[in-house]
C-alpha cells in the first residue's frame, strides 16, 4: 500500500514543502522523496496579493502531488509581527486543505524534533541531518524551509 504525505512549513515570505511516498508490505515500511521546494512571495507586494500567491500555488501543488495526508506546523511564536504574518499564511493553507477535503495533522516544532531525533530540543542541524539520513540523501535538502517540510512529512509517517 502506498501513501503520499505532504509536509508544509507555513510562512508568508517563504512556505516550505516536502512530499514523501511511503509504502508498506511484508511487515516493513519504505519511504522516499516525491518532491520538495518552496513557495515564495515578493516582499514588495501587498499582503493580500502575497496570500493569493500562496493560495493559487498551493492549489497547483496539491493537484500535482495528490497527497493522502498533509502535515502542517503548528503556529510557533517568534516575534509578534512575524507571528501575525505566519498566522495569515497558515490560515490560507488550512483554507485550501479544507477546500480540497484533505486530512491533515499538526505538529509543534518540538514534536517534529522529538519524532526525528528523539530529543524535543534538538537543533535545526540535527533535524536536517535526520531528514537526510531517513531519506537516504547524500546531503541536506535546501533551502531550510523545504527541509522543514520534509521533516513534517516524516513526523506524520512515523506517527501513522
> Hey, CA dihedral for 115, 17, 30, 23, is it positive or negative?
positive
Q: Which residues are catalytic?
A: 9, 73, 145
Cell digits of residue 143 = 533551502
Identify the residue whose cell numbers are 493553507.
Answer: 93
35 marked as binding residue: no
Residue in 14, 20, 53, 5 with CA at minimum distance from that of residue 143: 14
- Nearest residue to 98 via CA among 60, 70, 64: 70
145 is an annotated ligand-binding site residue: yes
Binding site members for Mg(2+): 9, 73, 145
Amino acid at each position: 500500500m502506498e501513501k503520499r504525505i505532504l509536509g508544509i512549513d507555513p510562512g508568508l515570505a517563504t512556505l516550505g514543502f516536502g512530499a514523501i511516498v511511503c509504502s508498506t508490505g511484508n511487515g516493513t515500511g519504505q519511504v522516499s522523496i516525491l518532491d520538495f521546494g518552496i513557495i515564495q512571495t515578493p516582499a514588495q507586494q501587498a499582503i493580500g496579493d502575497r496570500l493569493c500567491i500562496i493560495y493559487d500555488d498551493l492549489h497547483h501543488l496539491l493537484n500535482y502531488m495528490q497527497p493522502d495526508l498533509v502535515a502542517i506546523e503548528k503556529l510557533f511564536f517568534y516575534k509578534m509581527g512575524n507571528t501575525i504574518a505566519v498566522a495569515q499564511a497558515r490560515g490560507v493553507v488550512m483554507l485550501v486543505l479544507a477546500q480540497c477535503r484533505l486530512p491533515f495533522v499538526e505538529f509543534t516544532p518540538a514534536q517534529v524534533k522529538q519524532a526525528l531525533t528523539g530529543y524535543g530540543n534538538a537543533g535545526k542541524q540535527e533535524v536536517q541531518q535526520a531528514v537526510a539520513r531517513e531519506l537516504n540523501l547524500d546531503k541536506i535538502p535546501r533551502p531550510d524551509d523545504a527541509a522543514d517540510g520534509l521533516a513534517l512529512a516524516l513526523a506524520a509517517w512515523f506517527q501513522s
